[in-house]
Amino acid sequence: MPKPPLTLYLAAPRGFCAGVDRAIKIVEMALQKWGAPVYVRHEIVHNRYVVDGLRAKGAVFVEDLDDCPPDRPVIFSAHGVPKAVPAEASRRRMIFVDATCPLVSKVHIEAARHHENGLQMIMIGHAGHPETIGTMGQLPEGEVLLVETVEDVAAVRVRDPARLAFVTQTTLSVDDTADIVAALKARFPAIVGPHKEDICYATTNRQEAVKAMAPKADAMLVVGAPNSSNSKRLVEVGARAGCAYAQLVQRATDIDWRALEGIRTVGVTAGASAPEDLVDEVIDAFRDRFDVTVELVETAVENVEFKVPRILREPA
């Protein structure tokens, strides 16, 4: 029986961003430099296949510095860590490499600067997410107020409405965050902050590509992990942009083919922590069942690259 025709819209940009690329490279280079085992505090990026691949090469993933022996190197994940973590690693005289994305570190610096200027900080982010914990942990306990929604803005209790600043997580929904920032500015007209928010170029670009693709797709799949904030936002953006079925899949085996029965178009993208091999796997799974024509939906071209820390560029 001939396979039914299917147009597969492939979003660009999609998948790895410069910060993820750098973080993975840091673990690989650390393994080369110091040999196994190298410890990694938290998943280096939120993707099981990336983590499993590095584990096979000798990386050991832990959630706490206490689970690392003092005589082996430890790497901090791309999401960033509270200030207390590198401070404790130094106190223990451990070798550590910080794989925090430079765009997250930039937010840390902003928060610290506002605090030094005597402003109380508000962070827009998701409670319990490692990036939020890391950014809030740049300042003393209780100094950063977290808001997650427009409703939170109405409820937040500040010291002095005239002396406030805000920062954001880098992987939020651009549209939701704009609403929260607008609510903050309406309630606290003197609040100081970035021009728009701190959402990074990669998050913004991936959401833009989804907005272009979603309205013409009968269904949309986002390759990414359930704990990946930026990937989950892509699913929401797709649904909101008019795609009737938007779903997160970790890999091809997660695809619910029954839900896709009768589709003539599908959109495929991937979160910033999802390897391209898994996107290829998903496309191949569609080719097994449909007569696929791939159409690229490209809304931006990225050429951002970040250097790895100097300690890994120096000879052993």
Q: Which does 27 bind (CB under 5 to 8 A by kind): ligand SF4, ligand 0CH, none?
A: none
Q: Alpha helices of 194-263 — where are they, by DSSP H?
A: 201-213, 229-240
CA distance 194 to 5: 47
- Asked if residue 197 binds ligand 0CH (CB under 6 A), the reply is no
Q: Which does 14 bind (CB under 5 to 8 A by kind): ligand 0CH, ligand SF4, none?
A: none
Q: What is the dihedral of CA 91, 127, 157, 144, to 10 degrees?
A: 20
Q: Closest approach of Cβ 125 to ligand 0CH, in Å?
A: 10
Which residues, 35 to 54, sit near ligand 0CH by CB under 6 A?
45-46
Q: Which one among 171, 177, 228, 231 touches ligand SF4, defined by CB under 6 A?
A: 171
Which residues, 106 to 165, sit near ligand SF4 by CB under 6 A?
none
- Asked if residue 200 binds ligand SF4 (CB under 6 A), the reply is yes
Q: Closest approach of Cβ 166 to ligand SF4, in Å?
A: 17
DSSP of 296-312, one letter per residue? EEE--------PPPHHH
Q: Closest approach of Cβ 70 to ligand 0CH, in Å?
A: 27
CA distance 123 to 142: 12
Q: Which does 18 bind (CB under 5 to 8 A by kind): ligand 0CH, ligand SF4, none?
A: ligand SF4
CA distance 73 to 38: 5
Token pair for 50 = 């990336």
What amino acid positions are annotated as catalytic residues? Answer: 131
- Asked if residue 135 binds ligand 0CH (CB under 6 A), the reply is no
- Asked if residue 78 binds ligand 0CH (CB under 6 A), the reply is yes
- Asked if residue 44 binds ligand SF4 (CB under 6 A), the reply is no
| Site size with ligand 0CH, rule: CB under 6 A | 18
**Helix or strand or coil: residue 261?**
coil
Q: Does residue 73 have a cis peptide bond before it, meaning omega lies within 30 degrees of 0?
A: no
Nearer to ligand SF4, 17 or 122 (CB): 17
CB-CB contact of 101 with 170 (8 Å): yes
Q: Closest approach of Cβ 66 to ligand SF4, in Å?
A: 26
Q: What is the dihedral of CA 54, 57, 63, 66, to 10 degrees?
A: -160
Q: Which does 46 bind (CB under 5 to 8 A by kind): ligand SF4, ligand 0CH, none?
A: ligand 0CH
Nearer to ligand 0CH, 34 or 49 (CB): 49
| Other Cβ atoms closer than 10 A to 264 | 12
Nearest residue to ligand 0CH, using CB? 228
Nearer to ligand SF4, 14 or 265 (CB): 14
Q: Does residue 4 have a cis peptide bond before it, meaning omega lies within 30 degrees of 0?
A: no
Give helix 18-34 / helix 48-56 axis angle, nearest 10°. 10
Give burial (CB, 10 Å; 0-12/13-18/19+) of 46: buried
For the window 253-292, what string marks contact with ligand 0CH as x by the rule CB under 6 A?
Answer: ------------------xxx-------------------
Could you give the C-alpha distances from 71 to 55, 88, 138, 243, 311, in angstroms and in order?
19, 14, 26, 51, 17
Residues that bind ligand 0CH (CB under 6 A): 19-20, 45-46, 78-79, 101, 104, 131, 170-171, 228-231, 271-273
Residues that bind ligand SF4 (CB under 6 A): 17-20, 78, 101, 103-104, 170-171, 200, 202-203, 230, 272
